[in-house]
Chains A and B, each alone.
Chain A
């Protein structure tokens, strides 16, 4: 089955950009859609965005103005940039494979803390 692994800094300063990468293994990134989801104690699970290998994207309107999502098929990776972060963006960030809106397989999660 598909395996996913998030990577990126665990600490980001307020107003800076959070950058995470998800590496897909045991499967091709040219299959499925690929989503980012985050989980914080205050807001529970929140879907952030998805991307398809064709470049098609869909963003959560609540975060759209701050999100950039991209895909690198040659590396079997997709990435998330979230700009102008604040304490409310502190969360565990997950990447997952998406198929008809369901989230089949998840990475183990990356803990990101926003603090100076």
Chain B
């Protein structure tokens, strides 16, 4: 299985801050997704294909990267963005997820 490693595991930030989360795959992959999960809710797809925003996702979210190293950036953190973010490789089955990054209020 492809192992997905996220860092940091948590980050404290303020509204208006720029936040960057990284995800590293144990081998090269050709497609990666980012998901957002709020407490008590199901994960929600934000980005797929490493950089394509899902319909309805605000443009302050962006994704980049290729091969083994990927990044999710929130350009200007909003109150509704405090959540846990997961990367997920869609290169091969079984699909696998990172351990999550919790974005907390500073």
Contacts and interface: CB of A to CB of B under 8 A. Distances in A.
Answer yes or no: are A and B bound together in one complex: yes
Interface of A: 35, 44-47, 50, 58, 60-62, 94, 100-109
Contacts, number: 57
A60 B45 contact: no
Given A45-B97, A100-B31, A101-B31, A107 B90 contact: no
Interface of B is mostly: loop
Interface of A is mostly: strand
A94 B99 contact: no
A6 B45 CA distance: 18
A103 B94 contact: no
Contacts of A106: 42-44
Given A100-B90, A103-B43, 11 more contacts: A45-B100, A46-B97, A47-B93, A61-B94, A62-B94, A94-B42, A101-B31, A103-B33, A103-B95, A106-B42, A106-B44
